[in-house]
Chains A and B, each alone.
Chain A
């Protein structure tokens, strides 16, 4: 008789997730959204930085002695953490998201999305619990380990878990389907950040800033939501097609009907060109996100509140006022980032993936290059509009890539190939901010004014988009020798528990 453990494993198996005839495919995107909305909170983690930076001092930060080494600060329980130490969490998120997606993608293709979703729930929810303990005992390494490393692995697994499944359910609208899920990742912080704020205020006492209690509550909420999402996953039966839909009879050169093996994909130039496309689009986007708010404040300064003053001449209360306006600007950019994820990916179903990225890069180059001029002309509305459009294309770059991969490499390994491509995101997560910060510091150190310093940075980011444009332009269909043979495909489908599937 099978034990409870084997029954649970059986419940998670790929065979158990095969949808019965007549299953409504529109049930799969909400399951994917439940997972992506949960892990998307990673973007909103900065809401914890300020309370965590005074978790010992409560009302104000208690600085560590100046001669204290970095290692001692990591284990110290008598002084507060610096925001720069907490900021390491973002680097860990990006790095472990990309690496876990790359490493576990193949496993996901064989074991199915439900098992990956459950593993992601344990990593993300459990990681938050470890972080809660870290806050409670004031050990920052537990936060890095819990949320950053273990949680980061949950991010990677959760992020790629629905991709392959959605593409198989929506062969007629690949872009829209994956766009919906990836929109959720962008939207997660919109729910998580205000929720965390409410919870921290609720739990705050004269002896606690309320963060560890918030981590426990959110860990539990996300665990439940992700488990519900994972159990909502269903894979289509072998050979399933949407009712009334037939694959286009006319072959489209940029959409293959064949499949490239995961171990073969990275040997093709197309893989690296797509890696470059994603990395360059995201690097430029991350650079702009980091700059948008300070740029608005320093370029327009007093003009934002109707007074003719440069940024350095503003009084503290005036600076506080424009900081509030800039926070509104950041919020507006998040909305456009989310909208772009769905809209551009959906549009790519009609205009094609290569054309979509062609628009991202050409329009992007023009807008990045024109933004400083809009600032110089004092056109606030044009300046804000430019950044909003740029942010839609940043989001669109993430959400259109899975469908682009499916078009180029086929659907058999698309989830795993997507996982490997996400290392481009990890790279961009480090490259983008470093590039922007160093260029800016270098210019300011050499006497360039704060407002002017942004100009060169924007032109350099536009230069990254030129490189991305070239990468996209060079993408052609994969050479015949890289595709799997019918025998290889049949053997792979047997391994992936898809016996009886059509080629």
Chain B
């Protein structure tokens, strides 16, 4: 493998890790925001 293709593979791998890391923290946060939003909706009912 030459340097350029190795660099791209490394970059793609890191991008995937970034996406996974954000999903891991994003899912609980989104769930928490949704739960709070559901509660907040009582103000408008």
Residues of A within 8 A of B (CB): 22-24, 26-27, 30-31, 33-34, 37, 184, 187, 190-192, 194, 232, 324-325, 327-329, 331-332, 334-335, 338, 384
Contacts and interface: CB of A to CB of B under 8 A. Distances in A.
17 contacts: A24-B18, A26-B22, A27-B17, A27-B18, A30-B25, A33-B25, A184-B29, A190-B33, A192-B32, A194-B31, A232-B21, A328-B41, A331-B36, A331-B37, A331-B40, A332-B40, A335-B37
Interface in B2-43: 7, 10-11, 14-15, 17-18, 21-22, 24-25, 28-29, 31-33, 35-37, 39-43
A34 B36 CA distance: 19
A327 B42 contact: yes
A86 to B, nearest CB: 22
B17 A187 contact: no
B7 A191 contact: no
Contacts, number: 76
Q: Which of A184, A191, A192 has the most CB of B within 10 A?
A: A191
Contact of A30 (B7, B10, B24, B35): B24
Given A328-B40, A338-B33, 4 more contacts: A22-B11, A27-B18, A31-B21, A328-B41
A252 B22 CA distance: 34
B43 A325 contact: yes
B1 to A, nearest CB: 16
B41 to A, nearest CB: 7
Q: Which of B21, B29, B33 has the most CB of A within 10 A?
A: B21
Nearest to B43: A328
B43 A384 contact: yes
Contacts of B14: 22-24, 27
Contact of A194 (B25, B35, B44): B35
Contacts of B35: 190, 194
Nearest to B35: A194
Contacts of A27: 14, 17-18, 21
B25 A34 contact: yes
Contacts of B43: 325, 328-329, 331-332, 384
B40 A191 contact: no
Nearest to A31: B21
B42 A187 contact: no
Q: Which 10 A-B pairs have the closest CB atoms?
A: A190-B32, A328-B42, A328-B43, A191-B32, A331-B39, A331-B40, A332-B40, A30-B21, A194-B35, A24-B14
Contacts of B33: 187, 190, 335, 338
A22 B21 contact: no
B21 A325 contact: no
Nearest to A24: B14
A22 B32 contact: no
A222 to B, nearest CB: 11
Contacts of B44: 328
A36 B36 CA distance: 18
B36 A335 contact: yes
Contacts of B28: 37, 191
A24 B15 contact: yes
B17 A24 contact: yes
Given A328-B43, A335-B37, A194 B32 contact: yes
B22 to A, nearest CB: 5
B7 A26 contact: no
Contacts of A191: 28-29, 31-32
